[in-house]
Structure 1
Amino acid sequence: MTDDRPAQGAPQGVRLQKALANAGVASRRVIEQYIVEGRIRVNGRTVTELGTRIDPDGDRIDVDGTAVQLDVSKRYVMLNKPTGVYSTMHDEKGRPDLRRFTREWPERLYNVGRLDAQTSGLLILTNDGDLAHVLAHPSFGVTKVYVAKVAGAVTAQTIATLTRGIDLEDGPIKADRARLLDVSPGSASARSSLVELTLHSGRNRIVRRMMAAVGHPVQELVRRQFGPVHLGALPVGKARDLSKIELGALLTLSRRDSPAAAGDDDEQETE
C-alpha cells in the first residue's frame, strides 16, 4: 500500500505560474515575466520569486491590479433579459423564467439579484455564490445604470430633484447620478422622455417608484450596466460568457476590503 501524501518537508501548494496558466491568464513563460516585473500580487502582497507557491482554493491573486479566478469550474454569464420573463430559475406558477437562457451551459447557474418581469436588460448568471452575494447585496454599494422611458417632458429641475433626494413611503432615496437623454416632440399629453439613472439601492421597484413620485411614470425600463459590466450590443434574449476583462473587473469589485457605509436596505435589489 502506497501513501500519496507529500513527504514531510515537501513544497506545499501549486507554483504560481502554473496556476495562472491553467486559469488561462497567459503562458507560463509570460507569467514568469510578470512575476519578475512585480505585476502579480498574492493576498495583497507583490511577489517577485519564480518559486512562489500558492493555495488555489484559498489565496487571492491579482495581475496588474485585476483579480483572477483560479477555479475554472466557476461560470459567469451575461443575459439581456426580455420583458415578460421572471428572474428565477424555476417559477412555481409556470410563468416564463430564466432556464431557457442557460441550456447551453452544463453548470447550474443562478441569477445575481432580480429584474422585475416588465424590466429588460442586464442580468448576471453564475455558480459563484460568494460573488453573487457581494454583487446582489446593497450594503456593498454596487451601482446599476438604468435607462427609463417615462411619460411627459422631464425638466432639468426634475433631474436635480432625483439626485437631491425624494421621500418615498419606505424612506428617502436619491439617485447617485441622473441624466436626461432625450425628450420626444409632440403635444404635451403625448410627449415622453428618456432618463438615465444610476443607483446602488436594493429597494423593490425603486426606479419605477422614484419616477412616479416626480410625476413621470415609467413606460419602459432597461438595465444597461451592472457594476463595471455593460450590456453593450448583446441582443434581447441572448446570453454569453463574460470576457476575461469583464470578469476581472467584477472579481476586483467583489474583493474590495470594506463594503459601503451601512444604512441602505437589507433586501436584494429588484427592479
Structure 2
Amino acid sequence: MEEKMRINKYLASCNVASRRKCEEIISSGKVTLNGKVVKELATMVDVKKDKVTVFGKPVELDNSKVYYMLNKPAGVISASKSKYGEETVVDIIGKKEHRLFPVGRLDKDTTGLIILTNDGDFAYKLTHPKYEKEKTYEALVKGHIDSKGLERLKKGVVIDGKKTSKAKVRLIKMAGNNSLIEITIIEGRKRQVKKMCERVGHKVLKLKRTMENGLGLGDLQEGEYRKLTKNEVNRLLR
C-alpha cells in the first residue's frame, strides 16, 4: 500500500466512488483533509496519518476489493441509486459486504455486460479514454446495412462534432428487414454506438454489450451475475 497518494485516488480506494466522480466531489468542496476543505486534485494524502471526510463523514481505506459481472436487463439503470425509484444494477445484486457502483454505464434500454465493483482505481482504468479498453456490442439495426455503411463505421464517423476512433465492425446476419452487426469501440461517449449507426442511416432497434476488453458474458443470462476471478480482473486491466 502506498504511504501517500493523490486525494482523488485515495477517495476512490476508500470506495467513495469512481475516480472521476471523486474528482467532481473534491472540486465541489465536499472533502476535507485534517479539517480543512480541499479542492485541489493534486493534494497528497498520508494514508497513515491524515484524516479525510466526504460530505462530513470520515472515510478510510478498504483493502478488500470485489468485482461482479452482471448481464443487465432492459429497463434497469446503470447507477447505484435512482432519484425516481427505478431499479438499478446495484439493486439486482443486492446488499453485499461492500458498497458497489457500476463501471461506466449502459443506456436504460441497452442490455448486456456491465461490471460492478468497490474499486475506484480499477473503474478509472477501465473507463478513462487513455487506456483504450475495447467494448463489443451486438446491434440490431433497421434496414439492410451494406458494405459501404460498414466501412464508414470502421473508419469512424462524426458525431456531436467529433469523429469517432476506428472501430471493428462485421455483419453477423440479416434478420428479416433488419441487420445484426457486431461493433467494437475503444471510446465510451454517450450513446456512441446508437449515434454512429444513425449517422450511416440505420437506427438501432436493440443493443447489447457482449464483451469488455476480451472478457465475454459466457452463459450468463439476463439478470444473472457472478463474481469475477482474479485472472478475469487482470484480463480486464491488460
Letter in 2 for 1:170: G
Equivalent positions of 1:22-37 (< 5 A) are none
Equivalent positions of 1:178-189 (< 5 A) are 178-185=169-176
Work out whether 1:247 is the aligned partner of 2:233: yes
Letter in 1 for 2:137: Y
Supply the distance in 1 between the matched residues of 2:162 and 2:71 (Cα, whole angstroms). Answer: 31
Equivalence for 1:177: 168
> How far has the Cα of 1:174 moved from its partner?
4.0
SS in 2 for 1:150: strand
Match for 2:214 among 228, 240, 264? 228
Equivalence for 2:6: none
Letter in 1 for 2:196: M
- TM-score using structure 2 length: 0.71
- Measured at CA, do residues 72 and 232 of structure 1 come closer, stay the same or move farther in structure 2, by a change above 3 Å? farther
Equivalence for 2:111: 120
Equivalent positions of 1:1-271 (< 5 A) are 73-103=64-94, 105-185=96-176, 191-251=177-237, 253=238
> How far has the Cα of 1:240 moved from its partner?
0.3
Equivalence for 1:20: none
> How far has the Cα of 1:143 moved from its partner?
0.9
Deviations 1:130-174 (A, max 9, x none): 101110112211110000000001111211111122222321114
Q: Is the 8 A contact 1:175 1:198 kept in 2?
A: no
SS in 1 for 2:234: helix
> How far has the Cα of 1:94 moved from its partner?
1.4
Q: What are the ranges of 5 or more consecutive residues in structure 2 without an aligned counterpart?
A: 1-46, 48-61
Q: What are the ranges of 5 or more consecutive residues in structure 1 without an aligned counterpart?
A: 1-56, 58-70, 186-190, 254-271
**Structure with greater Cα Rg:** 1
> How far has the Cα of 1:226 moved from its partner?
1.1
SS in 2 for 1:133: helix
Letter in 2 for 1:204: K
Aligned residues: CA RMSD: 1.7
Supply the distance in 2 between the matched residues of 1:101 and 1:201 (Cα, whole angstroms). Answer: 27
SS in 2 for 1:209: helix
SS in 1 for 2:169: strand
The count of residues paired between Structure 1 and Structure 2 equals 178
Supply the distance in 1 between the matched residues of 2:161 and 2:114 (Cα, whole angstroms). Answer: 26
- Measured at CA, do residues 117 and 175 of structure 1 come closer, stay the same or move farther in structure 2, by a change above 3 Å? farther
Letter in 2 for 1:130: D
Letter in 1 for 2:122: L
Same amino acid, percent of matched pairs:
38
Structure having the higher strand fraction is 2
